[in-house]
């Protein structure tokens, strides 16, 4: 994600370090929201990655709870960034269809996760 943001500095869109890492700072009107979604997903990924090393301090319950719901949220934000802002996705219909099709198993897995009570799955996992 960092590489993607830094490489945008050489893109013709006129991105800077500020517009690559601070949401809602781009002057490119069509990319105002999509770029912010990508930046938010970047920061969620950093926080979730760091939380692995802090799980003993924040507690396993909170760590599991955030990973249960925040990881899918970050995933959704990143993909909506791609769908709304990715020129390759918008230009080539086949790529867009393929990306949407790849989201179906992920969406199904997330719905299955949401259909199961959190506390029952947390107790079950802690026993094993």
pLDDT in tens, 55-93: 999 998 888 888 888 888 888 888 888 888 877 676 777
The overall average pLDDT reported for the chain is 83
Residue 124: half-sphere exposure toward Cβ, Cα within 13 Å: 6
Backbone torsions φ then ψ of 29, nearest 5 degrees = -55, -45
pTM above 0.85, yes or no: no
Residue 103: give the domain boundaries. Answer: 36-127
Provide mean pLDDT across the span 32-38.
91
Q: What's the total number of domains in the chain?
A: 1
pLDDT: is 57 or 27 the higher one? 57
Q: In what helix (H) or strand (E) does residue 54 lie, and over which residues does it extend? A: helix 32-58
Provide mean pLDDT across the span 90-99.
78
pLDDT of residue 107: 83
CB distance 57 to 35 below 8 Å: no
What is the C-alpha to C-alpha distance for residues 110 and 40, in angstroms, rounded to an integer?
20
């Amino acid at each position: 994600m960092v590489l993607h943001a830094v490489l945008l500095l050489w893109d013709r869109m006129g991105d800077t370090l500020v517009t690559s890492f601070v949401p809602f700072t781009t002057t490119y009107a069509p990319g105002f929201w999509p770029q912010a979604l990508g930046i938010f997903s970047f920061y969620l990924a950093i926080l979730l990655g760091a939380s692995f090393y802090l799980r003993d301090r924040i507690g396993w319950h909170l760590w599991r709870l955030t990973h249960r719901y925040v990881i899918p949220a970050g995933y959704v934000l990143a993909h909506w960034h791609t769908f709304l802002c990715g020129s390759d996705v918008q230009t080539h219909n086949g790529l867009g269809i393929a990306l949407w099709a790849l989201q179906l198993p992920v969406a199904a897995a997330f719905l299955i996760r949401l259909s199961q009570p959190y506390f029952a799955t947390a107790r079950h996992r802690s026993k094993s």
